[in-house]
Chains A and B, each alone.
Chain A
Amino acid sequence: MLDTTLQPVADQSASQRRPVRPARSTTGQAARRPGPWRRLASPVVVLALWQAACSAGLISPQTLASPWQILQTAISLTRDGTLPHNLLVSLGRALSGLAIGTVAGVALALVAGLSRLGEDAVDALMQMGRTLPVLAMVPLFILWFGIGETPKIALVSLGVLFPIYLNLFKGVRNVDPKLLEMARTLGLSRAQTILQVILPGALPDLLLGLRFAVGISWLMLVVAEQINANSGIGHMMMDAEDFLRTDIILVGLFVYAALGLISDQIVRSIEARVLAWRPSNVR
């Protein structure tokens, strides 16, 4: 009722002539959704207050650097190559860990999901393993793998393994039994049934697992790089701590945040493409 008063008379009669619900709800949404500027307002205000407090000397740079200072630092770290170098090292670790964990998780989930024998062999172990706090295994990993790249990549892989395994296993087991029956009546072979029915049916769950896994991989990386590393974003931040450089620490934080955001977007766009058959993605 409220939004009809905001509309010109001609528009109102047009929307009343068509009694379809979608037409009404879209006009309602358009009227109520705040513009992008309103959403940006509060971050900008916070940023301005933060800058003002720093400039006025209310916050010492050793507690929290000013936004302007952070920007300057980001630029100079990029210029002298520190940031790109550490970023590449971190990206390399995250991607290798993600790849290893995903491959292992998919393999284990298929073994467990597609055969009872495989389930008995794998699933109990995995269900027990998932309850282990992976981060608490860092000391063990350092003892086992030393302080090189191996423990870091292993930590990321292990963190990635469980969400991939659990979601894909669930997806394989929850494929609609009616579709499996249909495959039988059409005379599909076991291999055809797996490739055409079970795997595509489990794909949405795998992608969901992948989204969790990507989030976890950054978390694992942060921990691994701050404990024992001589390169990477985490190392850059720990180094800065020794010199009370909060500006560098904050640059690192923002880089991590950006990496998390971008990688999530990438998985989402993969989802939209691979799951094009879903009604929400059609057209």
Chain B
Amino acid sequence: MNMMHRPEPVIRPEPVIRIEGLTRRFGGPAVLDALDLSVGRGEFVALLGRSGSGKTTLLRTLAGLDDVTEGRVQVPGDVAVVFQESRLLPWKRVWQNVGLGLGARDAKDRAIAALGEVGLDHRVDAWPLTLSGGEAQRAGIARALVREPQFLMLDEPFASLDALTRLKMQAMVGELWQRHRCAVLLVTHDVDEALLLADRAVVLEHGRIRTEVDIDLPRPRRHADAEFNRLRGVLLDALGVEQASH
């Protein structure tokens, strides 16, 4: 089965996000160093890299929170971001947070539908500070999806969750992506998470792409797969993790 997938070159969809020669400095050495990267329409890209390698900086630039000073960035107008902390407004009920800024008359219905998609129908009227960590993160994802973005960015959205909740959330994000088909850039420290979800994994080091791996595995994916293990080795190696030989 793998033999069938490996040989032919991967056909990339037409890019919706184009980054060319993006450089970013905060006074010292470049945090992003002449970075080139593109993400295709509906493509799921995982962004890995050691702490401080510039992942969040890249995301903030793409989200328009930081200005582009050197290089060129082309991003569609409708982007959505999910941060590591859910960043819900504590003084608005969960559905109001999800519908924030929608403006349309059916904002409430759409917010409630989006909350249903992430399995939060029962917490629609709750105050955000009463949500569990996983629930708050799901509300953050609903708030991003309700806008039907062309491009969705997630910055370590599951980092602070327990292992079991994280597995469930990963499966949920996989399903949501299959349904909505937006381009996704997922920042993560978790190699398995990248291999489970992404079409492509990009490893950042000192603001440059150190390794880029196409993950051409059938879905749903399983950890037991031989190719899965090979790719995990490649990524861990790129991240500089010493591996015991199995």
Given A181-B65, A184-B65, A185-B64: A200 touches B89 (CB 8 Å cut-off): yes
What's the nearest-Cβ distance from chain A to residue B112, in Å?
18
Q: Per a CB cutoff under 8 Å, which of A182, A187, A203, A278 touches B129?
A: A278
Chain B residues near A258 (CB-CB < 8 A)? none
Q: Name the contact of A185 in the complex, choosing from B80, B90, B127, B128 (C-beta under 8 A).
A: B80
A177: shortest Cβ distance to chain B, in Å? 11
Binary contact readout A105-141 vs B (1 if CB under 8 angstroms, 0 otherwise): 0000000000000000000000000000000000000
- When the two chains form their complex, are residues B64 and A182 in contact, meaning their CB atoms are under 8 A apart? no
- Chain B residue numbers with a CB within 8 Å of A282 are 127, 129-130
A76–B47 CA distance with the chains assembled, in angstroms: 82
Q: A201 contacts which chain B residues (CB < 8 A)?
A: 89, 91
Asked if A185 contacts B63 (CB within 8 A), the reply is yes
Q: Is A186 in the interface zone, CB < 8 Å from B? A: yes
> Given the known A-B contacts A185-B81, A188-B100, are A196 and B65 also in contact in the complex, defined by CB atoms under 8 Å?
no
Does A31 make an interface contact (CB < 8 A)?
A: no
Determine if B101 is an interface residue (Cβ-Cβ < 8 Å).
yes
Residues 208-234 of B contacting A (Cβ, < 8 Å): none
B25 at the interface (CB under 8 A from A): no
Give the residues in chain B near A181, CB-CB below 8 Å.
65, 87
> Does A178 contact B129, Cβ atoms closer than 8 Å?
no
CA distance A129 to B87 in the complex (A): 37
Give the contacts of A238-283 with B (CB-CB under 8 A).
275-279, 282
Residue from the set A192, A196, A277 with the largest chain B CB neighbour count within 10 Å:
A277
At the interface, yes or no: B92 with Cβ under 8 Å from chain A? yes
Determine which of B63, B92, B129 lies in contact with A279 in the assembled complex, contact meaning CB atoms within 8 Å: B129
Determine the residue in chain B with the shortest Cβ distance to A182.
B87
A267 to B127 Cα, complex, angstroms: 22
- Residues from 152 to 210 in A contacting B, C-beta threshold 8 Å: 178-179, 181-188, 192, 196-197, 200-201, 203
CB distance from B217 to the nearest CB of A (A): 32
**Least Cβ distance of A225 to chain B in Å?**
39
Whether the pair B101, A277 counts as a contact (CB closer than 8 A) is no
Q: Which residue in B87, B92, B128 is a CB contact (below 8 Å) of A178? A: B87
The distance from the CB of A109 to the nearest CB of chain B, in whole angstroms, is 19
Residues of B with C-beta under 8 A to A179? 87, 89
Closest to A189 in B: B101
Chain B residue contacts of A182, Cβ below 8 A? 81, 83, 87
User: Dominant SS at the B interface?
Assistant: loop
Q: Is B85 an interface residue (CB 8 A)?
A: yes
Q: Shortest distance in angstroms between A180's beta carbon and chain B's nearest beta carbon? A: 10
CB atoms of A277 and B129 under 8 A apart: yes
Shortest distance from the beta carbon of A281 to any chain B beta carbon, whole Å: 9
Query: Quick check: B130 and A196 within 8 Å, CB to CB?
Result: no
Partner of A184, one of B64, B80, B92: B64
Cα–Cα, bound, A277→B127 (Å): 6
Closest residue on chain B to residue A274 by CB atoms:
B91
Chain A nearest Cβ from B184, distance in angstroms = 15
Chain A contacts for B127, CB-based, 8 A: 276-277, 279, 282
A197 to B83, CA, bound (A): 17
CB of A200 within 8 A of CB of B87, answer: no
Instruction: Name the CB-closest residue of B to A181.
Output: B65
Q: Shortest CB–CB separation between residue B153 and chain A, in angstroms?
A: 9
Q: A185-B80, A188-B100, A196-B100 are in contact. Are A178 and B65 (CB under 8 A)?
A: no
CB distance from A14 to the nearest CB of B (A): 27
CB distance from A275 to the nearest CB of B (A): 8
CB pair B91 A277 closer than 8 Å: yes
| Alpha-carbon distance between A73 and B101 when the two chains are bound, in angstroms | 61
What CA separation (Å) do A78 and B63 show in the bound complex?
68
CB contacts (< 8 Å) of B92 on chain A: these are 196, 200, 277
In chain B, positions 95-154 with a C-beta closer than 8 Å to chain A are: 100-101, 127-130, 143, 147
Structural contact, A186 and B101, CB atoms closer than 8 A: yes
| Cβ-defined partner of A187 (8 Å) among B65, B91, B101 | B101
**Which residues in window 34-87 of B have CB below 8 A to A?**
63-65, 79-81, 83, 85, 87
Shortest Cβ gap from A82 to chain B (Å) = 46
Add 17 more A-B contacts to A181-B87, A186-B101, A277-B127 (CB < 8 A). A178-B83, A178-B87, A179-B87, A182-B81, A184-B65, A185-B64, A185-B81, A186-B143, A187-B101, A188-B100, A197-B89, A201-B89, A278-B129, A279-B127, A279-B129, A279-B130, A282-B130
**10 nearest interchain CB pairs?**
A200-B91, A182-B87, A277-B127, A185-B81, A188-B101, A277-B91, A186-B101, A279-B129, A185-B63, A277-B90
Residues of B bordering A, CB below 8 Å: 63-65, 79-81, 83, 85, 87, 89-92, 100-101, 127-130, 143, 147
| 6 A-B pairs in the complex with CB atoms less than 8 angstroms apart | A183-B101, A185-B64, A197-B89, A276-B127, A277-B129, A282-B127
